[in-house]
């Protein structure tokens, strides 16, 4: 390789001009990318650009994707270590290139060692300011919002980072269509009240007010994941919730037992198959409470609860809770929107919505958001 002798190393501080995507502890250097959709964006001149990263994990490797001038170019698995990745080479040096580097993998509650940090850049060009997009959108969800199933074949059933993405995720599609920045808080298998397997710790609301309450482990803690999130720093025009799928699943699963504390939990069905009234009630209350939490932190944002990409089972429970929330608070800046269920034709790997399903849902959500933004 003919080495480019003009490459200069830039720490983030030195690069100065860049935009951080996703919730993170922005003061950290290197900068942690905790969740899918977290990333960094630059406008840069020069012929060549590299990004310096630091990567680690115990079990689940992070994936990333990159875009130059708005177009998808690469997607790859990252191995542990501290190294540089080339984002482009050989381009006309004078033009300004918009480059985005995004984490594909959700925050990994199941792997405390999983982290991806940005140290800086190498370039022979100059870093220019990155302008804001027109809107800001926050997405809160489960495996659907983690993009599980958006890569991989229909028969693939393993639970793997490589099948998750933001690059083929409805959240990214909606945001690009609306010229919006996006932040995603989601975790596969988690719910409003409990996880798919009745694990009551696996509820998203309990993690929502931290920078990234879903990033496990001591190291992520030190990187700021557990700090309170500053909701003033980035005010979304809309908060899109996409939860309920795992809560529906819990009603079909056996009781969860905490092997340590002996605690148990179960969302029960009546003998006739209907939901046990107490259990559906606590789920509804969790919806009401979570709406309250979201509103408290986002007083001006439109909140839309989306639901359905993996079945419409809890439509009545969620809307009942939302009606109650509205009665109790008078808050009318909330909406409920069903998104089309994945079908044989649109499903991806792991029996999750595939790219086509995400695209369909994104279109409907985008159209809806156009009417309220």
Taking CB under 8 A as the rule, does residue 16 contact a second copy?
A: no
Q: Are strands 256-257 and 264-265 parallel, antiparallel or unpaired?
A: antiparallel
Greatest Cα pair distance in the chain: 74
DSSP 178: H
* Helix, strand, or coil (residue 119): strand
Comparing CB distances to a second copy, the nearer of 23 and 284 is 284
Chosen residue from 29, 73, 235, 252 binding a second copy by CB under 8 A: 73
Determine the Cα–Cα distance for residues 210 and 276; give it in Å rounded to an integer. Answer: 32
CA torsion through residues 177, 139, 17, 2, sign: negative
CA torsion through residues 146, 150, 152, 156, sign: positive
Site string for a second copy, 300-339 (x = CB under 8 A): -----------xx--xx--xx-xx--x---x-x--xxxx-
Taking CB under 8 A as the rule, does residue 121 contact a second copy?
A: no
Among residues 149, 175, 156, the alpha carbon closest in space to that of 67 is found at 175
Q: At closest approach, how far in Å is the CB of 63 from a second copy?
A: 8
Comparing CB distances to a second copy, the nearer of 156 and 209 is 156
Site string for a second copy, 22-61 (x = CB under 8 A): ----------------------------------xxxxxx
Comparing CB distances to a second copy, the nearer of 135 and 312 is 312
CB 26 within 8 A of CB 234: no
* Helix, strand, or coil (residue 283): helix
Among residues 312, 247, 239, the alpha carbon closest in space to that of 286 is found at 247
DSSP 339: -
In order, the DSSP letters of 269-290 are: B-TTSSBPHHHHHHHHHHHHHH
Comparing CB distances to a second copy, the nearer of 190 and 368 is 368
Can you point out the beta strands (E) in 28-80?
31-32, 39-44, 49-56, 63-68, 71-77
Taking CB under 8 A as the rule, does residue 4 contact a second copy?
A: no
Segment contacting a second copy (CB under 8 A): 64-72, 178-186, 204-212, 228-236?
64-72
For 249, the enclosing helix (H) or strand (E) is: helix 245-250
Taking CB under 8 A as the rule, does residue 201 contact a second copy?
A: no
Taking CB under 8 A as the rule, does residue 68 contact a second copy?
A: yes
Residue numbers 243-302 binding a second copy by CB under 8 A: 274
Comparing CB distances to a second copy, the nearer of 70 and 254 is 70
Comparing CB distances to a second copy, the nearer of 157 and 373 is 157
Comparing CB distances to a second copy, the nearer of 80 and 226 is 80
Q: At closest approach, how far in Å is the CB of 26 from a second copy?
A: 27
* Phi, psi (degrees; rounded to nearest 5) at 349: -80, 165
Where on the chain is the footprint of a second copy (CB under 8 A)?
Answer: 1-2, 56-61, 63, 68-77, 79-80, 86, 88-92, 113, 151-153, 155-158, 160-162, 274, 311-312, 315-316, 319-320, 322-323, 326, 330, 332, 335-338, 340-341, 343, 349, 364, 367-368, 371
């Amino acid at each position: 390789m003919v080495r480019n002798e003009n490459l200069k190393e830039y720490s983030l501080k030195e690069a100065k001009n860049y935009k951080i995507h996703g919730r993170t502890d922005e003061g950290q250097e290197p900068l942690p990318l905790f969740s899918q959709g977290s990333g960094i964006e630059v406008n840069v001149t020069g012929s060549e650009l590299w990004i310096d990263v630091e990567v680690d994990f115990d079990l689940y490797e992070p994936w990333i994707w990159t875009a130059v001038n708005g177009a998808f170019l690469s997607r790859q698995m990252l191995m542990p270590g501290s190294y540089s990745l080339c984002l482009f080479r050989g381009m006309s040096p004078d033009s300004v290139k918009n480059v985005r580097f995004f984490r594909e993998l959700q925050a990994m509650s199941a792997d405390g060692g999983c982290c991806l940090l940005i140290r800086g850049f190498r370039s022979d060009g100059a870093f220019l300011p990155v302008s804001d997009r027109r809107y800001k959108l926050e997405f809160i969800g489960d495996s659907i919002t983690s993009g599980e199933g958006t890569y991989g074949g229909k028969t693939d059933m393993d639970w793997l980072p490589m099948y998750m993405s933001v690059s083929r995720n409805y959240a990214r599609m909606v945001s690009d269509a609306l010229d919006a920045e996006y932040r995603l808080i989601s975790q596969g298998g988690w719910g409003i009240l409990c996880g798919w397997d009745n694990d009551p710790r696996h509820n998203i609301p309990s993690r929502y007010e931290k920078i990234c309450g879903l990033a496990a482990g001591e190291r992520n803690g030190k990187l700021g994941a557990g700090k309170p999130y500053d909701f003033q720093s980035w005010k979304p025009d809309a908060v899109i919730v996409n939860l309920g799928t795992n809560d529906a699943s819990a009603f079909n699963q056996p009781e969860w037992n905490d092997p340590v504390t002996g605690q148990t939990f179960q969302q029960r069905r009546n003998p006739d198959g209907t939901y046990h009234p107490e259990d559906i009630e606590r789920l509804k209350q969790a919806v009401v409470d979570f709406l309250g939490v979201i509103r408290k932190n986002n007083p001006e944002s439109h909140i839309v609860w989306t639901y359905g990409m993996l079945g419409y089972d809890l439509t009545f429970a969620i809307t009942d809770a939302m009606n109650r929330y509205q009665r109790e608070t008078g808050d009318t800046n909330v909406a409920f929107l069903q998104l089309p269920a994945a079908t044989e034709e649109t499903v991806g790997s792991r029996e999750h919505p595939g790219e086509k399903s995400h695209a369909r849902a994104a279109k409907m959500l985008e159209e809806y958001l156009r009417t309220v933004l």
